[in-house]
Amino acid sequence: MDLVKELEGLIPELEEGLNQSSDLQGLEALRVDFLGRKGRLAKIMARLPELPAAERPQLGQLANTVKQRLTELFDARKNALDAAREAALVARFDAGMPGNMPWKGSLHVVTQVMEELCATFRTLGYDVVSGPEVETDFYNFEALNLPADHPARDMQDTLYIQDKIVLRTHTSPMQARTMLSRKPPLAVVAPGRVYRRDSDLTHTPMFHQVEGLMVDKHVSMADLRGTLTAFMRAVFGPQTRVRFRPSFFPFTEPSAEVDISCVMCGGKGHAHGETCRVCKGTGWVEILGCGMVDPNVFVHVGYDPEEVTGFAFGLGVERIAMLKYGIGDLRMFFENDVRFLAQFA
């Protein structure tokens, strides 16, 4: 019986074909050829009507057996190929190879420096406090001995929200807020954003300050000087020299601006025979404003100036970050170029 032989012949033929094909593509071609809808098994089955009716059931049964066997052979070969492929992958896998590091975010350099400055003051016993960026005229000016129409208000180009409501131009309003909510002795630092109507190469409309305030009996200028010197040496290194220059702020008296020996040239004013770019040859860089709390400020917050004294200071965080890391352009902080930021990760 021809059809029986042909059917049975499919098995060794597929075995042969399978042995010769070693990839999934070849395997799929064989499957279509043997088991597909127009494949060889189907073609033989299509000739079933040629047989006498009595022989058809038997052949049909045989066809099923053959089909099952072909499928088994096919699956076995496919499993073997899959396993071999996996084994090859495992053999190539090098567990000691360096991986692809995931891209990791980090704090902005300004945030990092601000936190470092606050941490340094914490070790000196200061509390860290914070307050609103939208501030009233009272806290930003009035309580700080800057009455309306006082010429010193021009020192700060104020951004107004509405009449008597401003974006704070400095962190000094936290002096008044702290003194109104606490009793001396007190020592706080207040980090945060401040805003001024100012925008050029060295000014941005928003920047960061850290305010400091200490009030107690018998606090003196010498305490201020000792505190800031210790602070500057903690931030810029023990070789740092500190000098005070007389200055003016409405809320401190006397007032001073503080310079430190230039972080770039070490105070020499020049490096490699050239004038130092950072200190312009002076050997000093200005770093903050400070002074003894003005008695008028104490009066505004209900402290007795005969009873207590205090000092205050305010510093620019971007400025310190620039000096600390040798960053030449203020705009770097605000452009958020990842190549810049990632250097401080």
Q: Residue 14 or residue 293: which is nearer to ligand PHE going by CB? A: 293
Encoded one letter per residue, x for contact with ligand PHE by CB under 6 A and - for no contact, window 165-204 reads -----x-x--------------------------------
Sequence-ordered list of residues with C-beta below 8 angstroms from that of 144, at least 6 positions apart, any chain: 172, 173, 175, 176, 250, 251, 297, 300
- Do the beta carbons of residue 250 and residue 145 sit within 8 Å? yes
240 binds ligand PHE (CB under 6 A): no
Q: Residue 63 or residue 174: which is nearer to ligand PHE going by CB? A: 174
Closest alpha carbon to 208 in 114, 292, 294: 114
Q: Residue 7 or residue 256: which is nearer to ligand PHE going by CB? A: 256
Q: Residue 287 or residue 290: which is nearer to ligand PHE going by CB? A: 290
- Do the beta carbons of residue 313 and residue 211 sit within 8 Å? yes
Residues 153-172 that bind ligand PHE (CB under 6 A): 170, 172
244 binds ligand PHE (CB under 6 A): no
Q: How many CB atoms lie within 10 A of CB 9?
A: 13
Candidate residues 244, 249, 303, 333; the one interacting with ligand PHE per rule CB under 6 A: 249
Can you say whether the dihedral through the CA atoms of 76, 77, 81, 84 is positive or negative? positive
CB of 291 to ligand PHE, least distance (A): 5
Closest alpha carbon to 227 in 301, 292, 154, 320: 292
- Of the ranges 22-30, 39-47, 157-165, 307-315, which one interacts with ligand PHE (CB under 6 A)? 307-315
CB of 289 to ligand PHE, least distance (A): 3
d(CA 310, CA 33): 96
Encoded one letter per residue, x for contact with ligand PHE by CB under 6 A and - for no contact, window 274-303 reads ---------------xxx------------
Q: Point out the residue whose Cβ comes nearest to ligand PHE.
A: 314
Map residue 222 onto helix, strand or coil.
helix
Q: Hey, what amino acid is at 206?
A: M
Candidate residues 312, 317, 321, 323; the one interacting with ligand PHE per rule CB under 6 A: 312
310 binds ligand PHE (CB under 6 A): no
CB of 115 to ligand PHE, least distance (A): 20
Cα separations in angstroms, 155 against 56, 164, 170, 178, 198: 108, 17, 11, 24, 11
d(CA 156, CA 293): 19
- Of the ranges 66-74, 91-99, 235-243, 309-317, which one interacts with ligand PHE (CB under 6 A)? 309-317
- DSSP letters spanning 292-331: EEPHHHHHHTT--TTT-EEEEEEEEHHHHHHHHHT---TT
Residues that bind ligand PHE (CB under 6 A): 170, 172, 249, 252, 289-291, 312-314
